[in-house]
Amino acid sequence: MCTSLFLFLLPAFVVAQEHPFLGAYTVAEVDGGVRIQWTIVGGNTCDGQGVQRSLDGVVFADVHTIAGLCGHPSVDVQYNWLDATPPELQRVYYRVRMGFEDYSSVKSVDISRLITTEQRVFPSPAKEHITLLLNVPSYSTMELQVFAADGSLVRTYAGVPAQRTEIELLGLASGVYTYTALVDGRTFTGRFVKG
């Protein structure tokens, strides 16, 4: 019985180029923006890099680019970028592009803070609860009153977080309601529909 062993050696120019190794990669909402931080582990370099954003996790577009050599032959290099104008009130997806065709994993963040408007309530109409968002500092609290269409007070909240609050609607009849929120000397008013 004869056993043959064949070795195939690839010429040096066919060997795949080494790609950067990404470490400590985070995506987080901070003060209405999104901070993307990443580290290229020492020993890895690339030609250019950037941050890409998507609203569906499939189709990405560059929102920040860094030209030139990235990484370092011997030490870890940290990078960070703040997306100061992400789309508000939705899930946003990010990835880091290293070189021309090497990408990090995709990470998402839910943008829950208002940036371009002072207040928003959703959904409307609603069945079980609504979410009230106010463009105020994260440490603010509020006094909140909810009124029925006839002007009667149906809910009162005191000392609740002002930036994002859920209002329970169970037990309320279907119809139009108004609210008044007092935060740091400011008054916010609006309305919503219980279906």
* Residue-number span of the structural domain to which 64 is assigned: 19-110
Rounded to the nearest integer, the mean pLDDT of the chain is: 85
Instruction: For the chain, list the strands marked E by DSSP.
Output: 22-30, 33-40, 44-54, 61-72, 77-83, 91-98, 102-103, 107-110, 119-122, 129-134, 141-147, 153-161, 164-168, 175-183, 186-194
pTM of the model: 0.61
Question: Who wins on pLDDT, 41 or 1?
Answer: 41
Asked if residue 159 belongs to a domain, the reply is: yes
In the chain, the number of structural domains is: 2
Asked if residue 87 belongs to a domain, the reply is: yes
Identify whether residues 23 and 104 lie together within a single domain. yes
Identify whether residues 124 and 104 lie together within a single domain. no
Mean pLDDT within 25-45:
88
How confident is the model over 180-189, as pLDDT tens digits?
999 999 999 9
The CATH number of residue 184's host domain is 2.60.40.10
